[in-house]
Amino acid sequence: MKYSFTGDTMQLRVPAKLNLTLDVLSRREDGYHEIASVMQSVSIFDQLTLRLRPEPGVTLSSSLPFLPIDQRNLASRAALVFLQHTGQKVGVEISIKKRIPVGAGMGGGSADAAAVLFGLDRLLHTRLSEKELATLALTLGADVPFFLLGGTALAEGVGERLTPLPLAPRCTLVVAKPRYGISTPVLYQRFDQRGIHYPPATPALVQALRRPMTAAQLAGLCSNAMQEAAVEELPAIGQMLQELTEAGALSATMTGSGSAVFGIFARSSTARDAVTAMRKAHPGCFVSLAGIIRE
From the list 17, 23, 112, 121, the catalytic residue is 17
Q: What are phi and psi of 102, to 5 degrees?
A: -85, 140
Contact call for residues 46 and 97 (beta carbons, < 8 A): yes
The length of the chain in residues reads 295
Please give the biggest Cα pair distance in the chain.
56
* Cβ neighbours, 10 Å, residue 185: 9
CA distance 57 to 51: 12
Q: Which of 253, 226, 240 is nearest to 177 (CA)?
A: 240
Q: In whole angstroms, what is the distance from residue 117 CA to residue 129 CA?
A: 12
Instruction: Indicate if 143 belongs to the active site.
Output: yes
Strand 172-177 versus strand 261-265 pairing type? antiparallel
Do the beta carbons of residue 162 and residue 130 sit within 8 Å? no
Q: Are 182 and 101 in contact (CB under 8 A)?
A: no
86 φ/ψ angles, rounded to the nearest 5 degrees: -95, -10
Annotated catalytic residue within 23, 46, 143, 177: 143
β-strands 57-62, 261-265 pairing: unpaired
Tell me the catalytic residues: 17, 143
